[in-house]
Amino acid sequence: MRYKIAVVTPTERDDFYCDTVLDGLFLLKKENPELEFFYPDYYPHPFGEAFTKQFGVSKKQLAEFAKGADLIIFSYGKYGTDTAFIDELNGWGKTVYVDGSEIGKDRWRDLKIQYEIIKGAYEGLGAPNKDMQKKCRLYFRREKPYTNGMIPFPLGIESRFMKYYDSNKEKDIDFSCFFGQELYPLTRRYAPELTQKFCTENGFTCHTKKTYKLPLIHKGPYSPDKSYEIWARTKVGVSTGAAGYDSRRFWEILGNNCLIIAERFDLFELDSDAMNYKRIFQYNNLYDFEYQLKKAGEFLRNGYNQKDLEEEYQEILKRHSTKARVLTIINEAQKIGLLS
């Protein structure tokens, strides 16, 4: 895999989907040393100084590299999408777009907004970028709708999510349910309370205390290491959507070989088998959530064996790691002849 790939990041702050791309390229390069990729060194990723020294370059150096690159992966940024950089390169002919935008708050549940997006009339936060659809060779999108050939691109399981997980260490927390912010969606406000109540009444161990507070506007990476440590010890994790259907919490939980009680996961098409796993208990509302707590509790009492989950866990890592997400980009680029 002798590709040269330039990553054009947001200009003003980090973006989780851009992080997914960078982590995936890093993992892919471990297996394919001939792969080359670089990104602008000012981008505040969460992967440490060694990563910056190896793959971060000045914008001038990135421009020179990008001119001879096989592929440019261009990332949306909530506070700075660098279209001017691609314009200066005249590089749209080899650029693919990763759109991590979100409708925000609880608006992603609004049927009127969904209808306006389908009609092409919605122009607010999270709307498909019509300009990028015209300019870019491929368009990878965070969530539905995947119109005009858009390709689903949810977050992936980052390598750092699993830094505390040890398959030989027995998990000692039955249920964990906590979030960085609890304003949107409202499920995040009530789910920890219901989880704690269920565990207290049924004799399960439980963690519902926040491990970190997400800043309202974070201009650099924050360190949720404590949450990774909790997930490594947890048997059943609870997830909801965030400001869209996708959520890092979902992938953090799966990355630590947990069972997961998750809000209805609506990122892939209805006939997709992408999330067809026994460990996922899905709910539509708080009534369903209580029911799934009971089902998961029964499984812990009558059928849980950590070793039995390992085969499915490895399949999840294979299909949903950040490396798998980057391979999706490469495979789609090969299909249209953008990469050979």
List CB contacts of 74: < 8 A, sequence separation 6 or more.
8, 82, 86, 95, 96, 97, 98, 132, 136
pLDDT digit string (tens) for 310-334?
999 999 999 999 999 999 999 999 9
Q: Which domain holds residue 272?
A: 159-320
Residue with tokens 């990878």: 140
Do 129 and 91 fall within a single domain?
A: yes
Do 172 and 138 fall within a single domain?
A: no
Tell me the three state secondary structure of residue 340. coil
Question: How far is C-alpha 45 from the geometric centre of its chain's CA atoms?
Answer: 14
pTM of the model: 0.93
Do 120 and 266 fall within a single domain?
A: no
Do 207 and 127 fall within a single domain?
A: no
Tell me the three state secondary structure of residue 146. coil
Inform me whether the pLDDT recorded for 216 exceeds 50. no
CATH of residue 258's domain is 3.40.50.2000
Do 303 and 163 fall within a single domain?
A: yes
pLDDT digit string (tens) for 158-179?
999 999 999 999 999 999 999 8
Q: Is residue 340 part of a domain?
A: no
Strands (E), 150-233: 151-152, 173-176, 206-207
Residue 270: per-residue pLDDT: 83
Q: Is residue 179 part of a domain?
A: yes
Q: In what order do the strands lie in the sheet with 71-75?
A: 56-57, 36-40, 4-8, 71-75, 95-99, 138-141, 151-152
Give, in degrees to the nearest 5, the angle at Cα 173 between 171 and 174: 105
Do 145 and 188 fall within a single domain?
A: no
CATH of residue 134's domain is 3.40.50
Do 9 and 64 fall within a single domain?
A: yes
The total number of structural domains in the chain stands at 2
Reported as half-sphere exposure (CB side, CA atoms, 13 A), residue 123 has a value of 3
List CB contacts of 238: < 8 A, sequence separation 6 or more.
175, 176, 177, 191, 192, 195, 253, 260, 261, 262
pLDDT digit string (tens) for 8-29?
999 988 899 999 999 999 999 9
Q: Is residue 10 part of a domain?
A: yes
